[in-house]
């Protein structure tokens, strides 16, 4: 067996957090996928807040990503997988035409032996498999030079590459995903219902979130009015959703395509900067570490502009700084809503996790608010280059 003995692999799999899974359980699921090799290792993998991910090692020397789809968040896995297969196929063709490697630079989804692209087990859980991209890493923090530029360039090119994708073919797997105004209404509803009896613990957070309600629809109003274009966007552009080559430091491939849907370029830019230019972590418990690092913002901006090239419009450019504020505000609303609802959406790693996340995003949002003028100046400087 080329990849470690079964006993120790099983141990790793059970201890690595996430949901437990025995090696034989992984093998039972995996045999439904069109791979002609046996499973010899399985470990919990990654830091996602929604799906549960494992790395499966096979006797053919290859690794695969096995994921349990969270069907509470994605109730229509058929539509979800059609979106992903459509987009990865489209990107793969473009890569092939330009002489690049579609197996490494676009996600490669493995079909089921029975047909389709996901397997439903006897307990009703839905699973999918894709090729694991070797020698590439997803980073949780922008702690090495050049990393942010590359990540930003990758997300920018991802969007440009999908510019001519037939958007009408995409299902809206989570309707109004980045409709911040509707996120605000859901937050108010959660305060009113107070399902977990937590509203009275967080009066300051509720007040801070209410203070900015008038900004919630700044992007969606412009989309609805047609003054900024609706595009095919990734919608979950965290730094750890792009793989970076371990040898060259260059971007390899954009991953986590669950939320690819029609949206605004500003969603992808704003959400990415929110995560990657924060001096602290998304769920930092030390609020003094949380602030928007303008150097990182500049680096991200310049990479993103290099990626999208001339496909960005003047109105979009003008809204870039505000998009960082709005996407941070939106996630603060979402974390607070989930905390008030009793932690039903995001995976939490300890009981107060959603509250810690809410506070961290509020701190970041307030810091961004004080830096909007400087951020606009940086846009002018980078665009004038
Ligand atoms: C979720 O699964 P993950 O960690 O890539 C969430 C994003 C949030 C993010 C916050 C489908 O993404 O919208 O920004 O957590 N994805 C979904 O960490 O809700
Ligand atoms: Mg995701």
Tokens of 118: 């996901």
pLDDT on residue 110: 97
CA of 382: how far to CAs of 300, 302, 317, in Å? 11, 6, 11
Strands 126-131 and 109-110: antiparallel
Helix, coil or strand: residue 225: helix
- Cα–Cα distance measured from residue 155 to residue 308, given in angstroms and rounded to the nearest whole number: 8
Number of helices (H), then strands (E), in the chain = 13, 11
- Cα–Cα distance measured from residue 226 to residue 263, given in angstroms and rounded to the nearest whole number: 12
Give pLDDT tens digits for 275-306. 999 999 999 999 999 999 999 999 999 999 99
CA of residue 257 relative to chain centroid, distance: 8
Which atom from ligand 1 is nearest to the alpha carbon of 345?
19
pLDDT on residue 9: 41
Query: Model confidence at 33, in pLDDT bands (50, 70, 90)?
Result: very high
pLDDT on residue 7: 43
Q: Among the bound ligands, name the one nearest to the CA of residue 177.
A: 1
Give the count of alpha carbons within 13 A of 73, CB side only.
17
Helix, coil or strand: residue 15: helix
For the Cβ of 282 lying below 6 angstroms from any atom of ligand 1, the answer is yes
Does residue 15 have a pLDDT over 80? no
Query: Model confidence at 21, in pLDDT bands (50, 70, 90)?
Result: confident
Mean pLDDT of 221-228: 97
Does residue 12 have a pLDDT over 50? no
For the Cβ of 12 lying below 6 angstroms from any atom of ligand 1, the answer is no
- Cα–Cα distance measured from residue 72 to residue 51, given in angstroms and rounded to the nearest whole number: 10
**More confident site: 33 or 14:** 33
For 284, residues 6+ apart whose C-beta sits below 8 A from its C-beta are 290, 356, 360
- Computed over every residue of the chain, the mean pLDDT equals 93
Query: Model confidence at 144, in pLDDT bands (50, 70, 90)?
Result: confident
Q: Among the bound ligands, name the one nearest to the CA of residue 353.
A: 1
pLDDT on residue 47: 85
pLDDT on residue 18: 53
Question: Percent helix, strand and coil across the chain, each rounded to 5?
Answer: 50, 15, 35
Tokens of 78: 């058929």
Which atom from ligand 1 is nearest to the alpha carbon of 238?
5
**More confident site: 268 or 2:** 268
pLDDT on residue 13: 46
Tokens of 312: 């960005």
171: left (phi over 0), alpha (psi -120 to 50) or beta: beta
pLDDT on residue 17: 44
- Cα–Cα distance measured from residue 6 to residue 26, given in angstroms and rounded to the nearest whole number: 12
Nearest-CA residue for atom 12 of ligand 1:
49
Does residue 243 have a pLDDT over 70? yes
For the Cβ of 238 lying below 6 angstroms from any atom of ligand 1, the answer is yes
> Look-up: residue for tokens 């039972």?
28
CA of 378: how far to CAs of 17, 239, 277, 366, in Å? 41, 21, 14, 19
- Cα–Cα distance measured from residue 237 to residue 270, given in angstroms and rounded to the nearest whole number: 9
Mean pLDDT of 359-380: 98
- Cα–Cα distance measured from residue 43 to residue 3, given in angstroms and rounded to the nearest whole number: 12
Percent of the chain with pLDDT over 90: 90
For the Cβ of 73 lying below 6 angstroms from any atom of ligand 1, the answer is yes
Q: Among the bound ligands, name the one nearest to the CA of residue 138.
A: 1
For residue 166, the CA-to-ligand 1 centroid distance in Å is: 25
pLDDT on residue 1: 43
Mutation pick for ligand 1 pocket among 47, 50, 186 (CB with most ligand atoms within 8 Å): 50
pLDDT on residue 383: 92
Phi and psi angles of residue 260, each rounded to the nearest 5 degrees, phi first: -65, 120
- Of 267, 260, 269, 307, the closest CA to residue 165 belongs to 260
For residue 50, the CA-to-ligand 1 centroid distance in Å is: 6
For the Cβ of 50 lying below 6 angstroms from any atom of ligand 1, the answer is yes
The gap between the terminal CA atoms of the chain, to the nearest Å, is 55
Nearest-CA residue for atom 10 of ligand 1:
49
For residue 218, the CA-to-ligand 2 centroid distance in Å is: 24
Mean pLDDT of 90-115: 93
For residue 313, the CA-to-ligand 2 centroid distance in Å is: 27
Question: Which residues pair with residue 42 across a beta bridge?
Answer: 56
Nearest-CA residue for atom 14 of ligand 1:
236
For 177, residues 6+ apart whose C-beta sits below 8 A from its C-beta are 235, 259, 261, 263
Which atom from ligand 1 is nearest to the alpha carbon of 240?
5
Give pLDDT tens digits for 161-209. 999 999 889 999 999 999 999 999 999 999 999 999 999 999 999 999 9
Tokens of 211: 């203070």
- Cα–Cα distance measured from residue 25 to residue 19, given in angstroms and rounded to the nearest whole number: 12
Does residue 2 have a pLDDT over 50? no
Give pLDDT tens digits for 360-369. 999 999 999 9
For the Cβ of 299 lying below 6 angstroms from any atom of ligand 1, the answer is no
- Cα–Cα distance measured from residue 34 to residue 283, given in angstroms and rounded to the nearest whole number: 39
Tokens of 165: 């994708």
Does residue 46 have a pLDDT over 90? no
- Structural contact between residues 115 and 203, judged by C-beta atoms closer than 8 angstroms: no
Phi and psi angles of residue 217, each rounded to the nearest 5 degrees, phi first: -100, 15
For residue 98, the CA-to-ligand 1 centroid distance in Å is: 32
For residue 51, the CA-to-ligand 1 centroid distance in Å is: 9
């Amino acid at each position: 067996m080329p990849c470690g003995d079964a006993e120790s692999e099983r141990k790793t799999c059970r201890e690595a957090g996430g949901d437990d899974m025995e090696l034989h359980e992984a093998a039972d699921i995996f045999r439904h996928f069109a791979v002609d090799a046996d499973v010899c290792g399985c470990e919990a993998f990654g830091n996602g807040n929604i799906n549960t991910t494992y790395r499966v090692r096979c006797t053919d020397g290859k690794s695969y990503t096995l994921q349990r789809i969270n069907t509470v968040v994605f109730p229509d896995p058929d539509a979800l997988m059609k979106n992903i297969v459509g987009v990865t196929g489209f990107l793969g063709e473009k890569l092939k035409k330009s002489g690049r490697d579609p197996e490494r630079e676009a996600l490669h989804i493995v079909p089921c032996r029975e047909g389709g692209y996901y397997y439903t087990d006897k307990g009703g859980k839905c699973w999918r498999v894709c090729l694991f991209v070797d020698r590439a890493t997803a980073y949780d923090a922008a702690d090495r030079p050049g990393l942010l530029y590359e990540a930003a360039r990758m997300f920018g090119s991802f969007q440009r590459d999908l510019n001519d994708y037939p958007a009408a073919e995409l299902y809206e797997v989570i309707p109004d995903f980045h409709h911040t105004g509707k996120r605000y209404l859901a937050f108010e509803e959660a305060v009113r219902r107070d399902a977990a009896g937590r509203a009275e613990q967080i009066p300051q957070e509720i007040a801070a979130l209410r203070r900015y309600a008038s900004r919630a629809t700044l992007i969606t109003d412009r989309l609805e009015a047609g003054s900024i274009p609706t595009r095919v966007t990734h919608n979950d552009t965290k730094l750890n959703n792009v793989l970076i080559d371990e040898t060259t430091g260059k971007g390899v491939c954009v991953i986590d395509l669950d939320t690819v849907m029609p949206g605004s370029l500003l969603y992808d830019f704003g959400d990415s900067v929110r995560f990657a230019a924060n001096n602290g972590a998304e769920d930092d418990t030390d609020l003094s570490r949380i602030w928007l690092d303008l150097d990182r913002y500049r680096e991200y901006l310049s990479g993103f502009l290099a990626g999208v090239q001339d496909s960005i419009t003047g109105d979009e450019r003008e809204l870039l700084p505000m998009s960082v504020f709005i996407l941070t505000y939106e996630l603060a609303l979402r974390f607070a809503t989930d905390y008030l609802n009793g932690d039903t959406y995001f995976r939490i790693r300890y009981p107060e996790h959603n509250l810690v996340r809410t506070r961290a995003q509020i701190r970041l949002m307030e810091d961004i608010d004080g830096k909007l003028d400087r951020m606009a100046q940086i846009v002018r400087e980078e665009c004038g280059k």
